[in-house]
C-alpha cells in the first residue's frame, strides 16, 4: 500500500526521506520515488522495485534539495513501472498520493483537450494537471490546492510541492491517513507516525477533509470548507515498527476509520482501475465450469461469507453451500466433483476453519482462502490465496478485516459471473464502479460520528437489542448483533426480518431497541412492513437506511442516514454504522473495547 513522506528540512532531505520510506516498507510496494526542489526547480528520481534501486539511482544522480516528497507505490492504476511511479509532476507542481481518484477518467478527458499532457497511466497525474489548470486560471497556490481538492472524488492522502517555493508543502487527507510531524526548524509529513519516528514523536493527525500548509517553522490546517481548524498535537509512541493507535482512543476505532484506505488497497489488488474491470488471479480452476461454491468460516468471517452467498447466487448464478466451520468440520459434507471451497479468515489460524479446509482438500475440492495474514497456516495450506489487504488488525472485534473480506468476495462474485457469461461487460463496469466508490461513501459515514454517540447512550441502557435485516442486510444484522454483544456485553440477536413473527416478536416491548438495517433495495418495502410490526408493539426502532424516515410511515426512535449507493455494495456501507454503534456503546459502558473479556483474536483451539 502506498506510503507518503514529506520533509521541509535544514539540509538536503533525500537521505531522511529514504529512511522514512524504509519504515513504510511494511505496507508493501512495487516502486518508489522522490522529488525535491533543487535551486527552485523540481527534480525527481524514481525506480521500479525495492528502495535500494532508488538509493543507487540517487548515488549516481544525487538530489540536494531541502524540501522534498517521497513515495512507495503499490500499483492501482497502471503497471508497476518507473513511468507510473510517484512523484508525478510537471515543471510547476509535484504530487505523491495514496488512495484512488475515482473521477480521474473524467478529469483526464476534460484536461487533455486543453493541452495538459499525461505521461503516465495513473489516476494521480490528474491531480498534477488539475492544480496546474487552477494556477493557469490565476489562482494562488493555496487557492489552487483548495479548488483542486474540491474537484477530486475518492479517498486520498496527498503531499504537494511547487517549483520556486522552497520551504513550502501542502498536505491533504480524504479517507487515507496522514500525520504531520513537528521538528525543530523542520516539518515532516508521513502516512503514519512510524515513518516519522526517527525525526519526531510530536504528531498532528489530519482529519478527513483537512488540508494543511506546511512551512519550516510551522503549519496551518484548514477544513474542507477552508476554515482554519486546530488539531491536537499528540506524542506518538511509535519508536519501532509497532502499530500505534494514531489519534484514536482504541485500536478498534482506528481500524474502523482505516476502512476507506484498506478497502481501496484491497480492491486495487483485484480490480484494474484503468479499465474498470475485475482482474482476478488464476485460481487454477476454470471458473466457467465451477458447479458450486462451498463457503466456510467462523464468526464475523462467516457473516462475510453469508453476504457472498447472496452475491454469488445472484450475480454469478452459482449455487453456494455455506456453514460455520465448527459445524461443517464434523458434518463432513460430501464435496468434490469440481467445486471450489472458499475459506475466509482474518488470522488464517482459526482451528475450525483450518480443519474444514483440510476436509475439503481431502475431498478433492479446489481450496481457495481469503486471508489477512498471508503467512498463516490457512494461507499456506490453500491451493490459491486471495489476500485481504487490511493491514494488522489489533482490536479483537473484527472490523476492517470484515469489510476487506467483503471486498474480495464481491470481486469473486463478479469474476465468477463474468467467466460464466452471466455478467455483461457493461454490468461488470457498473458493479466495479460501485465498488470503487465504497471508500468515499464510508468516509461520509465516518465523518458523521456524532449521531452514533447519541444513539449509543440509549443503547447502553438496554438489556437486549434486536437487529433485523433482509437479503444481504440479514448477515449485517447478525454482524451488528455480534459486534454489540462482544464488546459492550449487551445481549443482542440478529434475525432475518421475515423470521420475526415466527418467534422473536414475542421479545418486543418498549424497552427493546430494534435496529433495522434497511437500505433501499428491492426488499426495502418488505423490511418496512416488519419494522411497522415492531413499532406497533412499542419497540424502539432505530433505522439504518438511505431512505428518508418519513418513508417508513411510523415513529422511529432514531434514524442513521446512509448515502445512496448501489444495492450491490450496500453490505460494505452498512457495516460501518453497525460497527460504530457497537463501538460507541462499549465506550459509554466503559468496557475493554480492544480486548473484551473471554475473547481471543486468534482462535487456535476448537
Ligand atoms: C468477531 C470476531 C470473530 C472472528 C472469528 C474468526 O468480531 O472477530 O468472530 O471473526 O473468530 O476469526 P478469523 O477471521 O481469524 O478466522
Residue 601 CA, ligand 1 centroid: distance in Å: 7
| Tens digits of residue pLDDT in 242-301 | 567 777 899 999 999 999 999 998 999 999 888 889 999 999 999 999 999 999 999 999
**pLDDT tens-place string over residues 4-30:** 999 999 999 999 999 999 888 766 688
Nearest atom in ligand 1 to 483's CA: 7
Which atom of ligand 1 is the closest one to the Cα of 603?
A: 11
Choice from 250, 297, 298 to test ligand 1 binding pocket (greatest atom count within 8 A of CB): 298
Locate the ligand 1 atom nearest the alpha carbon of residue 378 and give its number: 16
Q: What is the pLDDT of residues 57-108, one digit of tens each?
A: 999 999 999 999 999 998 777 788 899 999 999 999 999 998 889 899 999 9
Q: To test ligand 1's pocket by mutation, which of 256, 299, 373, 388 has the most ligand atoms within 8 angstroms of CB?
A: 299
Compute the distance from residue 420 Cα to the ligand 1 centre, in Å.
32
The closest alpha carbon to 297, from 318, 253, 327, belongs to: 327
Helix axes 51-60, 14-22, angle to 10 degrees: 170
Nearest CA to ligand 1 atom 3: 299
Are 456 and 585 in contact, with CB atoms under 8 Å apart? Answer: yes
Backbone angles phi, psi at 366, to 5 degrees: -80, 120
Give ligand 1 pocket residues (Cβ under 6 A). 298-301, 345-347, 350, 353, 397-398, 482, 486, 602-603
Q: What pLDDT, in 10s, does the model give residues 464-473?
A: 999 999 999 9
Q: Which atom of ligand 1 is nearest to the CA of 298?
A: 6
Cα 567 to ligand 1 centroid, rounded to whole Å? 26
Interstrand relation of 233-235 and 202-205 (parallel, antiparallel or unpaired): antiparallel
**β-pair type (179-182, 168-174):** unpaired
Contact 98, 162 (CB under 8 A): no
Q: Give the Å distance between the CA of 352 and the centre of ligand 1.
A: 11
> Residues with catalytic annotation?
2, 601
Question: Domains in the chain, ordered, with CATH?
Answer: 3-247 (3.60.20.10), 254-436 (3.40.50.10490), 443-589 (3.40.50.10490)
Higher pLDDT, 287 or 602: 287
Q: 516 C-alpha to center of ligand 1: Å?
A: 23
Ligand 1 atom 6: residue of nearest CA: 298
Place of cell 525535491: 36
Range 50-53 contact pairs with CB under 8 angstroms and sequence separation of 24 or more? 51/18, 51/21, 51/22, 51/25
Amino acid at each position: 500500500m502506498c506510503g507518503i513522506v514529506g520533509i521541509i528540512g535544514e539540509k538536503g532531505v533525500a537521505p531522511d526521506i529514504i529512511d522514512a520510506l524504509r519504515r513504510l516498507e511494511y505496507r508493501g510496494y512495487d516502486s518508489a520515488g522522490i522529488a525535491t526542489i533543487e535551486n527552485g526547480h523540481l527534480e525527481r528520481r524514481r525506480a521500479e522495485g525495492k528502495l535500494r534501486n532508488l538509493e543507487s539511482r540517487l548515488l549516481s544522480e544525487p538530489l540536494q534539495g531541502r524540501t522534498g516528497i517521497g513515495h512507495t507505490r503499490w500499483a492501482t492504476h497502471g503497471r508497476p513501472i518507473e513511468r507510473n511511479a510517484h512523484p508525478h509532476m510537471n515543471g510547476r507542481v509535484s504530487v505523491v498520493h495514496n488512495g484512488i481518484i475515482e473521477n480521474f477518467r473524467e478529469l483526464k478527458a476534460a484536461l487533455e483537450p486543453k493541452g495538459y499532457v499525461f505521461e503516465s497511466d495513473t489516476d494521480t497525474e490528474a491531480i498534477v494537471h488539475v492544480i496546474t489548470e487552477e494556477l493557469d486560471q490565476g489562482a494562488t497556490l493555496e487557492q489552487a490546492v483548495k479548488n483542486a481538492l474540491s474537484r477530486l472524488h475518492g479517498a486520498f492522502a496527498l503531499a504537494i510541492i511547487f517549483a520556486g517555493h522552497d520551504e513550502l508543502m501542502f498536505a491533504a487527507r480524504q479517507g487515507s491517513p496522514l500525520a504531520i510531524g513537528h521538528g525543530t526548524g523542520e516539518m515532516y509529513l508521513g502516512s503514519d507516525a512510524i515513518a516519522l519516528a526517527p525525526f519526531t514523536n510530536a504528531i498532528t493527525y489530519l482529519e478527513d477533509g483537512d488540508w494543511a500548509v506546511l512551512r519550516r517553522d510551522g503549519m496551518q490546517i484548514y477544513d474542507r470548507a477552508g476554515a482554519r481548524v486546530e488539531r491536537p498535537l499528540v506524542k506518538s509512541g511509535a519508536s519501532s515498527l509497532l502499530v500505534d493507535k494514531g489519534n484514536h482512543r482504541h485500536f478498534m476505532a482506528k481500524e474502523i476509520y482505516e476502512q476507506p484506505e484498506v478497502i481501496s488497497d484491497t480492491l486495487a489488488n483485484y480490480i484494474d482501475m484503468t479499465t474498470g474491470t475485475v482482474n482476478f488471479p488464476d485460481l487454477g480452476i476454470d471458473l466457467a465450469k465451477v458447479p458450486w461454491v462451498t463457503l466456510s468460516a467462523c464468526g464475523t468471517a462467516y457473516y462475510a461469507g453469508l453476504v457472498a452467498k447472496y452475491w454469488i447466487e445472484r450475480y454469478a448464478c452459482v449455487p453456494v453451500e455455506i456453514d460455520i466451520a465448527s459445524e461443517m468440520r464434523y458434518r463432513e459434507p460430501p464435496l468434490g466433483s469440481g467445486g471450489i471451497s472458499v475459506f475466509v479468515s482474518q488470522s488464517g489460524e482459526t482451528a475450525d476453519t483450518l480443519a474444514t479446509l483440510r476436509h475439503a482438500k481431502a475431498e478433492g475440492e479446489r481450496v481457495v482462502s481469503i486471508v489477512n495474514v498471508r503467512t498463516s497456516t490457512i494461507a499456506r495450506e490453500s491451493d490459491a490465496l486471495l489476500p485481504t489487504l487490511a493491514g494488522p488488525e489489533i482490536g479483537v472485534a473484527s472490523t476492517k478485516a470484515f469489510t476487506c473480506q467483503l471486498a474480495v468476495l464481491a470481486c469473486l462474485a463478479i469474476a465468477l459471473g463474468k467467466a460464466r457469461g452471466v455478467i455483461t461487460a457493461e454490468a461488470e463496469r457498473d458493479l466495479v464502479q460501485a465498488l470503487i466508490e465504497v471508500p468515499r461513501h464510508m468516509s461520509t459515514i465516518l465523518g458523521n460520528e456524532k449521531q452514533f454517540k447519541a444513539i449509543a447512550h440509549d443503547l447502553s441502557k438496554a438489556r437486549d437489542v434486536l437487529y433485523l435485516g433482509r437479503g444481504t442486510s440479514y448477515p449485517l444484522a447478525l454482524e451488528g448483533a455480534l459486534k454489540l454483544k462482544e464488546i459492550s456485553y449487551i445481549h443482542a440477536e440478529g434475525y432475518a426480518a421475515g423470521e420475526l413473527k415466527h418467534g422473536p416478536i414475542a421479545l418486543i416491548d418498549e424497552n427493546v431497541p430494534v435496529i433495522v438495517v434497511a437500505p433501499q433495495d428491492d426488499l426495502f418495502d418488505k423490511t418496512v412492513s416488519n419494522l411497522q410490526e415492531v413499532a406497533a408493539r412499542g419497540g424502539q426502532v432505530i433505522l439504518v437506511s438511505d431512505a428518508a424516515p418519513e418513508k417508513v410511515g411510523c415513529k422511529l426512535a432514531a434514524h442513521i442516514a446512509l448515502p445512496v449507493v448501489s444495492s450491490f455494495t450496500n453490505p460494505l456501507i452498512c457495516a460501518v454504522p453497525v460497527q460504530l454503534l457497537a463501538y460507541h456503546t462499549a465506550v459509554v459502558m466503559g468496557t475493554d473495547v480492544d480486548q473484551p473479556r473471554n475473547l481471543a483474536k486468534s482462535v487456535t483451539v476448537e
